[in-house]
Every structure is written in C-alpha cells, then in structure tokens.
Structure 1
Amino acid sequence: MRFLRKSLTGLFLTAVTLGLMFYAGTMVREAVQARMSEEPRVPQARERVFAVNVAPVVFETVTPVLSAFGEVQSSRTLELRAASSGTLIDLHPDFVEGGQVTQGQLLARIDPADAQAALERAESDLLDAQAEQREADRAIVLAEDELQAARDQVALREQALKRQTDLVDRNVGTAAAVETAELALSSAHQAVLSRRQAVATAQSRIDQAATKLKRAQIALEEARRHLANTEIRAEFSGTLSDVTVVAGRLVSTNEKLAQIVDADALEVVFRVSTQEYARLLDDDGKLRRADVTVTLDVFGTNIQARGQISRESAAVGDGQTGRRLFATLDAPRGFKPGDFVTVSVQEAPLARVARLPATAVNAAGEVLVIGEEERLATAVVTVLRRQGDDVLIRARDLEGQEVVAERTPLLGAGIRVNPLRSEGAPAPQEPEMLELTEERRAKLRAFVEGNTRMPEEAKARILSQLSQDKVPASTVARLEERMGG
C-alpha cells in the first residue's frame, strides 16, 4: 500500500512536469512566431538643429581705421657741444639729466681767461690800426701840400727863364744867366717828381692802414666770438638728456656735453605696407593729411594724442619694405621720445559696406545666410578691410538679411539652425507632457527597474517622473525607443 502511494505520487509529479514543459514550449513557439511575424520597428530619425549667433547685414558709410605700430620722437633735438676747449665752470643747477631749460638760458661757462686776453690784444691791435690810419691821412695832406709847393717853384723858375731869355734877345742879358735859369727850372721839375712820389707813397700807406684796420676789426670780432663761445646757452626751451659733464671738468673742442629735446614738438614715425600706403593717397597720388590717433598702453591706462600725417620718407631703405610715414602730434601730453605706441589712421570713407564679425567669413570669402525655413545658404562677399575682430564687406542682395556670426565645421548649406539674435536668446519652451495609461506606465516602470546598466540616480529620477500624472514626452519616447531596441 505504501509502495503504491509513492508510485502514484511520482507518476503525478512526472505528468505535471511534462505538462508544464509542454506549456512552456508552446509559449516559446508562439512568442517566436509572433516576433517573426511583426514588422521591424525602426526608430524615427529626427533632424538635428544647431543654435547659431546671427548678425544682420546693414550697409552704411564707414570710415576704416588703419592700425600700425610706431615710435615717438622729437622733431627738434639739439646736441650741446663745446665750441672751445677749457675748464668747465659756472655750471647751472638745471644742467642735469631731465633738467628743464628755457631759450637763451646760460647753462655752463668755459674758463674765459684765454679768450678775454685774446680779446684785449685784438682791441689793442685795433687801436694801433686806427692810429696808423689817422697818421696816414695826415701824411697824405702834407705830401699834397709839398707837391703843390714844388709845382709853384716850377712856375717861378719858368718865369725866371723867360725873363733871362727876353734879356738875351734884347742883348741885355748873358748866356750864362739863361743857362743858370734853365738848370734851376730842371731842379724844380725834379722836385715835383719827388713830391709826386711822396704823395703816391702816402696814398699806399693809407691803403695799407685801411687793410690793417680791417684785419684788426676781423680779429676783434673773432676774439669776441671766441669769448662768446665760452658760454653755453639753450637755443630753445626743452629738456636736457645725455648729460655727461660736471663742474671743473676739462672739455675739448666739439665735445658733446648734453642734448636738448623739445618735448612740445613731438612726432610719431611708423611704417605701413605698400597696399596700406596706396589707400592713403588722394586722387592726385599725393599723401593725404589724414588724422591719426596715437595710443600708449601703460598697464591698462591708455594715453592718447591726436595729430596728422605730415610727410613720408624719401626712400624705402635697405632691407626694408613698405613706406615710412611721419605724423605730428597736436597735444602730446604724457608722451616721451622713444615711446612705442599704436597708431590709428583714418582712411577715406567707404560707401555701402557692412561690418560683420571676422568669424562670419571664411578664407574663400563666403558667409552663411539664414534662408527660408531657417536653413543656411552660402553667399560670396568681397572683404574690403579687416578692422580688429571685424571685417568690412561688400556684397549684392544681402541688404537686411542675417548671416551666421560664428562659423563652425558643423555648419553648411542646407542645415537648419535656430538663430540667436543679438537682442537675446529665445525663451526656453515648456517640454511636452503626456498622460499615460496604467498599463503603459507599468511597462515603463518595469523596464526602468529591470535595467541593470542604468545608474541608481537616473533610475530614481525617471521613476519619480513616471509617478507623476503627466510625464515628459521626451522621456517616454527615449524609454520606448530603448525598449524597442
């Protein structure tokens, strides 16, 4: 009886096991058939939309600014050199590095003892020359008087000879008396010649005295000039630099003592390319007096001054390119010679140009235009100038349109974008919400709870969303897409 009960129990369990296995096999077969009979579920592809910053194309008249680097220098710079040699005395307290001097101010003096002695000797020589001239003038007067007296003697001797000749003709006189008169007349003529020679000598003495006086005057002027050269004065108001002397030093002729720089007559010299130089020429091919702005950046504090282009260099220079220009500064306050500055030159105005960010144009001169349905289209523009981070372009049929301000390799023609305008980014839209049935909600919860690869934080967040009355449509679509995969 006991054996029969155990046998029936074993048979019953075997029958149940076989039935369950058959039922399981049937379910697997039906599931496979149902799966194979279903159409494949392909996730719906969605177009990717890029958010881009856009800039409007507005044509206007713009004055381009040419930027270059230059150096400030003084147009009036004078080297102070010693005109004579000697010991430096009477040095002015302002004769130091950076000293401010005024025009005509006595800065230093070279020992004038030798120059003063030379001046006194020249004055003495001038007095001697003047005395010699006066003596020569008196001598010529005496010589002329003696000549006149000799001529009077000749007249008297001629009358005496005539009288003796008349006596001989009347047979009253003698031949000896006539001969005596003739000899006396000859002696008188000889005396006239001697007096004429004396007058000529006196006239020559006058010429020599005049020459000597002129030489004495020249020597006196030279001595005065040498004495004046012992004083070193400022030719114009300015600042001293490169001072190399002190009081008591022995200096030689033409030795450099210092340098005067006129801080109010500053100019800036800068170099531009040949292409930029061509844009600064007027219709006649001459350099325009364009306005410039000079900026000195001193640790974030900008010192600025305005001026105008004044001239250009005559030659390019060995090993140089472009053109070297000079600009005068109107009020160069705060600038010093040698400052390295930035020069901004205003070019001629350009009509009907648009200013765009430099990142909006590629190397081929193309921009991306926002077209219909906010899709991108390519347009070709002409880049006229580059102004820092911007460019000035000229193009047709772009008036009032919008272009992409910042190009990226992901953008191209035909791509749909979400424009972000300068007024501000568009307000974020509210996510679409769905009301789920209990069955659909249970399937999603079961999928999330059974997913072993999902982080616990993400699981908790998604389960919290699924427990709400309305669930974000994006979350539901993402879960169902994964469930279908």
Structure 2
Amino acid sequence: MNKKKQILYPLVILALGAGLYWGISSLEKPPQTKAPKAVAPLVNVVPVTVEPLQLQVDSHGVVEPKYLTRLVAQVNGEVVFLAPEFVSGGFVKQGQLLARIDPSDYRALVTESAANLASAEAALELEQAQGQVAAAEWRNIDGRTPTGLGLRKPQLAQEQARVSAAQAAVTRARRNLERTRIVAPYDALIQDREISLGSYVSTGTVLGSLQGVDVAEVRLPIADAELQFLEQQGRRGEVELTADFSGRPTVWQATIVRSEGVVDRKSRMTYLVAEIRAPYAGVFDSHLLQSDPARQDMPGTTVPPLRFGTYVKAKIAGISLPQVSVIPRHLIEEGRIPILDENQQLRYRQVNIIRQQGTDAIIAGDVLAGDRLITTALEYPIEGMLLTPAVDGEALLESKVARRGATSE
C-alpha cells in the first residue's frame, strides 16, 4: 500500500502542474504581428525641357593653305639680288620682288632683237616702194597683165614675214628680261628658299615655295550617318573652329565651300572643305604697317593668326529641329523614359531617339515640357508604383535609410 502511494503522489503532482501551466497559458493573449509599412521609394527628378534646337556636327582637321606655289626659274643666270623678306617665315605682298637673276645678257638680247626689228621694218618699207615702182612700170606697158613676181609680191611677203619674226624675237627677249625678276604672285608666307645670293640657276631650278595667306582650308571628315544632320549636306554651312593660341582657346569662323564628292577608301568618311578668310590677317597687317610708312595710321586687327598646320576642332552648324528634348542617354530603355506623374506614380513614355551625342540623346515623342524625368535607378520598377520625389537631391541615401527602417520594424 505504501509503495502504491509513493508512486501515485508524484504522478498526481505532475498532472496538477501540467494542468496549471496549460490554464495559465490559455489565459495569455496571442502576440499581434505588425503589418509592414509601405514605403514609396525616394527618387530624384528633373523637369523636361522641350524647345527648338539647332544641331551641330563635330569634326576636326589641319589648317592648310589654299594656294601653295613652288617658284621655278624660267631663265638661266646668276642670282644677283635676294629680298630680305625672302626667307622661311617671311611675309611678302603680291608683286613684291623676291629675287633677281643677272639681267645683263637679257638686256643685250632686247637691244639686239629691237635692232633686228628696225632693220626688218626698213627692208619692208624699201620692198613696198619697189613694188609700187614695178606696178607703175607695168601700167605703161599696153596689153600685158602683170604677174605677182613682176609686182614683187613674193619679195614683199618675205619682208613682212621677217618683220613678224623680228617682232616675236623682241617680245621673247623682253619676256625673258622680265623673267629675271622673281616676284610674289599673291600675298604670301614664305615656306622655304632654296637658293642663295650668287647661285647659278638654270631653267627649271626650284627657287622656293610660297603659301597664300588670303585663304586657308581645312578638310573635315564627316561620317555618312552625320550628313543627314547638315543643311544640303553641309554646303555653305557655317563652321566654328577652335584651337589653342598662346595657351588659350581661340575661335575662328569658317564656311563650307565644297564637298570632295567621294568616300575615302580607308576611313569611309566624306570630306567637306571649309575656307577661312585671311588666316594671317593680324600678323600680315602688322608686317605691312612696319614695312610701309604710309600705312602707319591705318588701324590694325587684333584677330590672332590661324597658322598653317594647326590642328583644329570644328563645329558645323546643322539643321534646326522644332521641338525636342536633350536627356541623358542611359535613362532610355527600350525606347521609353521614366516619368513621375501628378499622382506621384511611375509612368513610361515612348520616345523617338533622333540623335545620340556623347552621353546625351536628342528625343521627340510623347513628352511635354515640365514632365518630371526620373533620374534615380529603381531596383524593381513597376509602372504605376508610388514614388516620392526628393527635395534635396539625396534620393538614394534617404531611400536606403527608409528601407532599412522598414525592415527593422
């Protein structure tokens, strides 16, 4: 009996404890779970601008003279004069004497040919007189028809030919005498000189090279796809050339004058040629003022020279577009851009990319001026989702803090 009690009492105590624990537990309220708070992601937005835009096509090139002339001796002789300006880098005016070949022999030839001409003309006059005498004598002979030989016509023709030959000889002698004077064919910059004082030159000897300073040219390579953005494929288009002068960016104006009309076989580019008027205006005018006292009172120009050989960047004025927008290119996905509507919801607008330039794109389409373009990258964008526009431009940071707070709750 005692053994049964010893076994029964512990079991009763355990049963009472379990019942008490179950009763107390049933009285406690179950924990309430908090619904996650919906957080509208914070985004940066910028207003879209829709306005007319004139396109520009970028290119580059090297400035070269339009006219480059190699001076060549046309007569033989010794160089007896060289102009001080006839040196590499010197500026010369049109018609200025650069060098002179010894003219002594050519002056003698002019005198000799002039004397031969005078002798031929005298012989012609004598023959004409003799012909008149012969005609008079034939008139005194009745019933006879004079022949050409009897009237001395062949002799007259021969003397006339000798006069013509003598005149040609005089012309040639004077021309050769003039060719002893080497003059500048136009306002020019001396590229190089290949003779010295006392040098003997013969016909065909190269004396030097000149570069015309009235007009310079730049060959501008244009990709075929870019030609559509130029008026009449760039004909007569205005060009802005930029290069460094004395360490400072400087701008010159140029005009497209022609297309070379072919596609380069290597680069597959079309070349347009731009002209720059008076590229050395400032330097050349200063040279004239120093060399000509009569020009001292003339106002000079402050335009810096656009030196031959300068590498320039070019902006060619293109066509004008009526109503377009310029936005960062990375914001366009599958031809759509993200917009925040008046209800603070994400909307996508379909756009047409007219042109890509660098990191931007020129677009047209279903976009209105003032539309708010979303510039923040969304992790899981869903059209129609609520968004919050940032005020201070710290959308990414604040959005991360908000998401972190929502997760901790």
Q: Aligned partners of 1:90 and 1:306: how far apart in 2?
A: 40
Is residue 253 from structure 1 mapped to residue 203 from structure 2 by the alignment?
Answer: yes
Please give the secondary structure, in 2, of the residue aligned with 1:294: strand
- Show structure 1 runs of 5+ residues with no match: 1-25, 156-188, 428-473
Partners in 1 of 2:37 and 2:205 — Cα distance? Answer: 87
Q: Measured at CA, do residues 55 and 93 of structure 1 come closer, stay the same or move farther in structure 2, by a change above 3 Å? A: same
CA shift at 1:420, angstroms? 4.3
Report which stretch shifted further, 303-312 or 390-399: 390-399
**What is the alpha-carbon distance in structure 1 between the residues aligned to residue 388 and residue 248 of structure 2?**
41
Say yes or no: does 1:199 pair with 2:150: yes
1:412 to 363, 381, 384: 381
Match of 1:318 in 2: 265
Q: Per-residue CA shift, 1:254-308, capped at 9, x if unaligned?
A: 33322222323123220212222133244xxx75432221111458621112233
1:349 matched residue in structure 2:
320
- CA RMSD between the two structures: 3.7
Asked if structure 2 preserves the Cα contact closer than 8 Å seen for 1:378 and 1:413, the reply is no
Letter of the structure 1 residue corresponding to residue 238 of structure 2: D
TM-score, normalization by structure 1: 0.63
**Amino acid in structure 2 at the alignment position of 1:360:** L
- Partner of residue 366, structure 1: 336
Q: Greater helix percent: which structure?
A: 1
CA contact (8 A) 2:187 2:214 kept: no
Question: Quick one: distance in 2 between partners of 1:113 and 1:48?
Answer: 104
**Match among 74, 84, 89 for residue 83 of structure 1:** 74
Could you tell me which residue of structure 1 aligns to residue 311 of structure 2?
340
Preserved CA contact (<8 Å) 1:64 1:387: no
Structure 1 Cα separation of the partners of residues 217 and 78 of structure 2 = 37
The letter for the 2-side match of 1:122 is S
Say if 2:110 is the partner of 1:119. Answer: yes
Cα gap change, 1:236/1:349 in structure 2, threshold over 3 Å: closer, same or farther?
same
Tell me if structure 2 keeps the 8 A contact 1:368–1:413: no
Deviations 1:176-201 (A, max 9, x none): xxxxxxxxxxxxx8xx78x857633x
Distance in 2 (alpha carbons) for counterparts of 1:346 and 1:249: 52
The 8 Å contact of residues 84 and 226 in structure 1, kept in 2 or not, is answered as yes
Asked if structure 2 preserves the Cα contact closer than 8 Å seen for 1:356 and 1:392, the reply is yes
Establish whether residue 306 from structure 1 lines up as the match of residue 253 from structure 2.
yes
Supply the AA of the counterpart residue of 2:306.
F
Alignment partner, residue 287 of structure 2: none
2:50 and 2:324 in contact (8 A); partners too: yes
Letter of the structure 1 residue corresponding to residue 316 of structure 2: V
- Distance in 1, Cα, partners of 2:243 & 2:390: 37
1:262 corresponds, among 200, 212, 222, to 212
Shift of 1:112: 2.1
Shift of 1:53: 3.6
Unmatched tracts of structure 2, length 5 or more: 1-16, 280-302, 396-402
Q: CA deviation at 1:241?
A: 0.9
For 2:362, what is the secondary structure of its paired residue? strand
SS at match of 2:193: coil
Q: CA deviation at 1:94?
A: 0.2
Q: Cα–Cα, structure 1 residues 96 and 299, in superposed 2: closer, same or farther, change >3 Å? A: closer
Q: How does 1:325-474 map to 2 (within 5 A)?
A: 325-330=272-277, 332=279, 333=303, 334-362=305-333, 364-371=334-341, 374-405=344-375, 408=377, 410=379, 412-413=381-382, 418-420=388-390, 425=393
- 1:263, 1:336 within 8 Å by CA — same for their partners in 2? no
Q: Which entry has the higher C-alpha Rg, 1 or 2?
A: 1
Q: Which residue of 2 aligns with 1:271?
A: 221
For 2:194 and 2:382, the matched residues in 1 are separated by 72
Aligned-pair distance for 1:349?
1.3
Q: Check whether the contact 2:120–2:166 (CA below 8 A) recurs between aligned residues.
A: yes
Cα 1:94–1:288 shift into 2, 3 Å:
closer
| SS at structure 1 position matched to 2:349 | strand
* Secondary structure of 1:313's aligned partner: strand
1:233-244 map, 5 Å: 233-244=183-194
1:294 to 229, 238, 241: 241
Q: 1:160-190 CA distances to partner (integer Å, 9 max, x unpaired)?
A: xxxxxxxxxxxxxxxxxxxxxxxxxxxxx8x
CA–CA separation in structure 1 for the residues paired with 2:272 and 2:36 = 63
* 2:167 matched residue in structure 1: 217
Q: Does the 8 Å CA contact 2:57/2:229 hold for their aligned counterparts?
A: no
Aligned equivalents of 1:418 and 1:349: distance in 2? 37
Structure 1 contact 369–379 (Cα < 8 Å) conserved: yes
Shift of 1:372: 6.2
Residues 63 and 130 (structure 1), Cα distance of their counterparts in 2 relative to 1, 3 Å cut? same
The question of whether the paired residues in 1 share the 8 Å contact of 2:328 and 2:361 is answered with yes
Q: 2:258 and 2:171 mapped to 1: Cα distance? A: 41
Structure 2 equivalent of residue 183 of structure 1: none
Structure 1 counterpart of 2:121:
130
SS in 2 for 1:223: helix
Shift of 1:212: 0.6
Report the CA distance between 1:42 and its aligned residue.
Answer: 7.8
- Give the distance between the partners of 1:135 and 1:331, measured in 2 at CA: 60
Q: Is the 8 A contact 1:377 1:412 kept in 2?
A: no
Alpha-carbon contact 1:368-1:412 (below 8 Å) kept: no
- C-alpha contact (below 8 Å) 1:65/1:387 kept by paired residues: no
Q: How many residues align?
A: 355
Distance 2:390 2:79 in 1: 77
Please give the secondary structure, in 1, of the residue aligned with 2:261.
coil
Note the C-alpha offset of 1:403. Answer: 1.2
What is the CA deviation profile of residues 107-143 of structure 1, one whole-angstrom value per residue up to 9, with x for unaligned ones?
A: 1011223323332332222122112112212221332
Q: Could you say what secondary structure the match of 1:104 adopts?
A: coil
Picking from 90, 114, 122, the partner of 1:99 is: 90
User: Residue 412 of structure 1: SS of its match in structure 2?
Assistant: coil
